[in-house]
A and B are shown apart, each in its own frame.
Chain A
Amino acid sequence: MCLAIPGKVVSVEQSNGLRVGRVQFGGIVRQASLDFVPEAEVGDYVMVHVGYAISRVDEAEAQRTYELLEEMGALEAELPEESSGQ
Chain B
Amino acid sequence: MKFLDEYRDARVARTLAKEVAACTTRDWVLMEICGGQTHTIMRYGLDEILPKQIELVHGPGCPVCVTPLETIDKALALALRPEVILVSYGDMLRVPGSNSDLFRAKAQGADVRVAYSPTEAVKIARANPDRKVVFLAIGFETTAPANAMAAWLAKREGLKNLSLLVSHVLVPPAIRALLATPENRVQGFIAPGHVCTVVGYSEYESLVQDFHIPMVVGGFEPVDLLEAVLMLVKQLERGEARVENQYVRSVTYKGNERAQEVVREVFVVADQKWRGIGMIPNSGLRLSDAYADHDANKIFDLQLISAEEPAECISAQVLQGLKKPTDCPAFAMRCTPENPLGAPMVSSEGACAAYYHYRRHAAQGAVKIAV
Among B2, B62, B143, which residue has its beta carbon within 8 angstroms of that of A50? Answer: B143
Chain A: how many interface residues by the 8 Å CB criterion?
36
B283 to A: closest C-beta gap in Å:
16
Residues of A within 8 A of B117 (CB): 50-52
Q: Tell me if B34 and A2 are in contact (CB < 8 A).
A: yes
Q: Tell me if B119 and A51 are in contact (CB < 8 A).
A: yes
> Is B302's CB within 8 Å of the partner chain A?
no
A33-B119, A47-B197 known; A4+B1 contact, CB < 8 A: no
Among B116, B249, B259, which residue has its beta carbon within 8 angstroms of that of A51? Answer: B116
Q: Tell me if B64 and A45 are in contact (CB < 8 A).
A: no
What mask results when residues 194 to 230 of chain B are scored 1 for a CB within 8 Å of chain A, else 0?
1101100000000000000000000010010001000
Among B4, B15, B63, B145, which residue has its beta carbon within 8 angstroms of that of A6? Answer: B4
Q: Tell me if A50 and B118 are in contact (CB < 8 A).
A: yes
Residues of B within 8 A of A50 (CB): 89, 116-118, 143, 146
Among B2, B14, B145, B195, which residue has its beta carbon within 8 angstroms of that of A36? Answer: B145
Interface residues of B (CB under 8 A from A): 1-4, 6, 9, 11-12, 14-16, 18-19, 34-36, 61-64, 89, 91, 116-120, 138-140, 142-143, 145-146, 149, 192, 194-195, 197-198, 220, 223, 227, 248-251, 256, 258-259, 262, 347-349
Interface residues of A (CB under 8 A from B): 1-6, 8, 25-26, 33, 35-38, 45, 47, 49-52, 54-55, 57-59, 61-62, 65-66, 69-70, 72-73, 75-77
- Given contact pairs A6-B4, A45-B2, A54-B256, enumerate 9 new A-B contacts (beta carbons under 8 Å): A1-B35, A1-B62, A1-B138, A3-B349, A45-B3, A49-B143, A51-B120, A69-B15, A72-B19
